[in-house]
Amino acid sequence: MNCLFCGDEIENDPNYSDCRDYYLQSPTIVSYAHCKKCNNLQQNPIPKNIDSFYHAYPIHKKKHPLFSMIRNFVGQSGYCDVKNKFIQGNFVVIDYGCGDGSYLRSLQKNKKLILIGYDKFKSWSTRENETNIIFTSDKFFLKNNFKNKANIITLHHVFEHLPNPAEVMTELRSLLADDGIIYILIPSIESLIASKFKKRWHGLDAPRHLHLVTERGLRIFLAPLGFFITKTEKHYFSNDIPASISSLLFGKFNNIFFYMLLPISILFGWAKIKTTRSIISFEIKKITTDKILRDNLTC
């Protein structure tokens, strides 16, 4: 098997062999391989059927309001800040892999926004639409209504779950307006926390995370699909250290321990220590004829 992103050969990584599901304790055990060229870490092989990994996935369940409040406070770190983007007229935001829709709900007050939540899991296809939010699990609905219309498409903690990232990015390209942005947020395999905790790192989330692409890998991967990266930023993720320590000490995610450590982790995050940032975001734009002409003129 070759690297999903740069096409080079991959090599099984002993640090990531026989990885257990520390988070949800499903019985699946998987191994990962590293790409020497782009440093991507991917499952070897990429599993054919991934739906069974999500039976107990909490992101797809109804939440207690207090849990939702805590999650909105800490769990949305690094999410796309739409307020900082130029908003004019009807501004379409598609949250691809919207889960319980909490991100879109946090934008709901802004009436200029047309908010679309897509999630492939059927539990979300039947959910009721809310004020300026449409939820769907129908890709044809997106294709028929939003071709070339999306100003921002967000994939928060979603890209690493995709068994077919090239196919999805091609679909999203057809939805994106020419000056639109795709915003991808993923755990960073090149972070210090990842290198310390290795297979017990919360960001690995085996078996659900199929790959963890690097900036280098993403650049190589995106160019033939007609995209380029305009901005990269690392963020602190409060959940990461408490959940990783829990896996290390207890061999699984321990809820009580996690919530005991979480406030300390949040305070730690306020110190803004760069080396503790373990998630990374990429802003991506379409390569258009205008850009090719501009680049050629400046050469």
Tokens of 192: 């210090």
**33 vs 82, beta carbon nearer Zn ion:** 33
By CB under 5 A, which span of 36-44, 149-157, 164-172, 252-260 interacts with Zn ion? 36-44
Residue that the structure tokens 């908003």 belong to: 87
Chosen residue from 3, 82, 133, 162 binding Zn ion by CB under 5 A: 3
Our finding on whether 102 is near Zn ion (CB under 5 A) is no
**38 vs 176, beta carbon nearer Zn ion:** 38
Rounded least distance, CB 193 to Zn ion, Å: 22
**6 vs 107, beta carbon nearer Zn ion:** 6
**8 vs 130, beta carbon nearer Zn ion:** 8
First to last CA, the chain: 38
Contacts 24+ apart (CB under 8 A), 7-10: 8/35, 8/36, 8/37, 8/38, 9/35, 9/36, 10/34, 10/35, 10/40, 10/42, 10/44
The helix (H) or strand (E) run that includes residue 137 is none
Rounded least distance, CB 190 to Zn ion, Å: 13
By CB under 5 A, which span of 56-64, 93-101, 137-145, 212-220 interacts with Zn ion? 212-220
Q: SS3 for 75? A: helix
Contacts 24+ apart (CB under 8 A), 31-35: 32/204, 32/206, 33/1, 34/10, 35/3, 35/5, 35/6, 35/8, 35/9, 35/10, 35/11, 35/217
Residue ranges of alpha helices (H) inside the chain are 65-70, 102-107, 139-146, 165-175, 192-197, 215-222, 240-250, 255-270, 289-298
Our finding on whether 98 is near Zn ion (CB under 5 A) is no
Distance CA 231, CA 216 (A): 13
Our finding on whether 241 is near Zn ion (CB under 5 A) is no
Rounded least distance, CB 230 to Zn ion, Å: 21
Chosen residue from 33, 35, 172, 186 binding Zn ion by CB under 5 A: 35
Distance CA 103, CA 239 (A): 17
Our finding on whether 222 is near Zn ion (CB under 5 A) is no
Rounded least distance, CB 233 to Zn ion, Å: 22
Our finding on whether 213 is near Zn ion (CB under 5 A) is no
Our finding on whether 43 is near Zn ion (CB under 5 A) is no
Rounded least distance, CB 165 to Zn ion, Å: 12
Distance CA 246, CA 242 (A): 6
**41 vs 182, beta carbon nearer Zn ion:** 41
Rounded least distance, CB 10 to Zn ion, Å: 7
Our finding on whether 6 is near Zn ion (CB under 5 A) is yes
Our finding on whether 38 is near Zn ion (CB under 5 A) is yes
Our finding on whether 40 is near Zn ion (CB under 5 A) is yes
Q: Is the peptide bond before 187 cis (omega within 30 degrees of 0)?
A: no
If binding means CB under 5 A, how many residues of this protein chain bind Zn ion? 9
Our finding on whether 212 is near Zn ion (CB under 5 A) is no
> What is the binding site for Zn ion (CB under 5 A)?
3, 5-6, 8, 35, 37-38, 40, 217
